[in-house]
């Protein structure tokens, strides 16, 4: 089973940049999307449905903002939008889909880049999401959480850790959250299978950052302990250029 997660920075923009053709080549079984920036009725989903995808979306209440989705070749047994916390759910940040013995979550964490108020919102989200994920894994043992976490965990995950030590996304408190999340039993699939590989999943649009590979690894696929033995491969698909992010991919043995 091949699972791709992609912050598309606007689904309509990504479709205009050749996302469909790329998807036909990659042909994932499950596609997690973040930052849709569109309501369901604003997108023509026909081609994706013709490719065999069932489409499950959780847009933000605010138009042109946030939003997550899960597209899957197999129908979901159950879909849940949000965490049951209005502050976060209004922003369309979480969607969960159950497939037989596997649960997949597409998530878009707040960035905190627009100021102290949003950084505080990010910290609230981090605490709430950790608790929500802890409850979920007690209910559904095999869980994959895929999405844009907006945090670099280690120095090797960012092009210049020294100059970014006070930057949101690489703050000590944020990095400590990832430590605690992993210590609670979650597995960073990319780092678990590529312990020494220094690659990035996001580059600023400014200063030719992508061409110069001045990036950050802020996109993850976290596997629960029950899912860890099924992980076969994990990587970043850096050739995909429909967004300022690149997709993450994992392959797991089928359920």
Residue-wise pLDDT tens digits, 219-243: 999 999 999 999 999 999 999 999 9
Residues sharing a CB contact under 8 Å with residue 184, sequence separation 6 or more, in sequence order: 130, 134
Domain count, the chain: 1
- Place 50 in a pLDDT band, splitting at 50, 70 and 90: very high
| Closest-CA residue to 173 (of 216, 109, 120) | 120
CATH at residue 11: 3.60.10.10
Q: Which of 148, 157, 188, 219 is catalytic?
A: 148
| pLDDT tens for each residue of 72-89 | 999 999 999 999 999 999
pTM higher than 0.85: yes
Q: How far is CA 59 from CA 10, 22, 166, 190, 205, in A?
A: 12, 23, 31, 27, 24
- 3-class DSSP state for residue 249? strand
Check residue 255 and give its pLDDT: 76
Concerning whether 89 is annotated as a catalytic residue, the answer is: no
What is the extent of the structural domain holding 122? 2-252
């Amino acid at each position: 089973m091949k699972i791709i997660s992609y912050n598309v920075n606007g689904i309509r923009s990504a479709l205009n940049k050749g996302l469909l053709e790329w998807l036909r080549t990659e042909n994932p079984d499950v596609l997690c999307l973040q930052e849709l920036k569109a309501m369901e009725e604003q997108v023509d989903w026909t081609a994706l449905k013709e490719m065999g995808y069932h489409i499950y979306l959780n847009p933000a209440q605010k138009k042109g903002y946030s939003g997550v989705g899960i597209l899957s070749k197999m129908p979901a047994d159950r879909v849940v939008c949000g965490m049951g916390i209005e502050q976060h759910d209004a922003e369309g940040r979480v969607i969960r889909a159950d497939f037989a013995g596997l649960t997949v979550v597409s998530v878009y964490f707040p960035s905190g880049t627009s100021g102290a108020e949003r950084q505080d919102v990010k910290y609230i989200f981090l605490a709430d999401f950790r608790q929500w994920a802890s409850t979920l894994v007690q209910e559904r043992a095999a869980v994959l959480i895929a999405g844009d976490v907006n945090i670099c965990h280690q120095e090797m995950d960012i092009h210049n850790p020294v100059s970014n030590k006070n930057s949101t996304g690489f703050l000590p408190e944020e990095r400590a959250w990832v430590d605690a999340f992993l210590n609670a039993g979650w597995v960073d699939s990319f780092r678990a299978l590529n312990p020494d590989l220094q690659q990035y999943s996001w580059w600023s649009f400014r200063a030719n950052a992508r061409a110069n590979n001045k990036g950050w690894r802020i996109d993850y696929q976290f596997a629960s302990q029950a899912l860890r033995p099924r992980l076969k491969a994990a990587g970043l698909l850096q050739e995909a250029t429909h967004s300022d992010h690149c997709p993450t991919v994992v392959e797991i043995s089928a359920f």
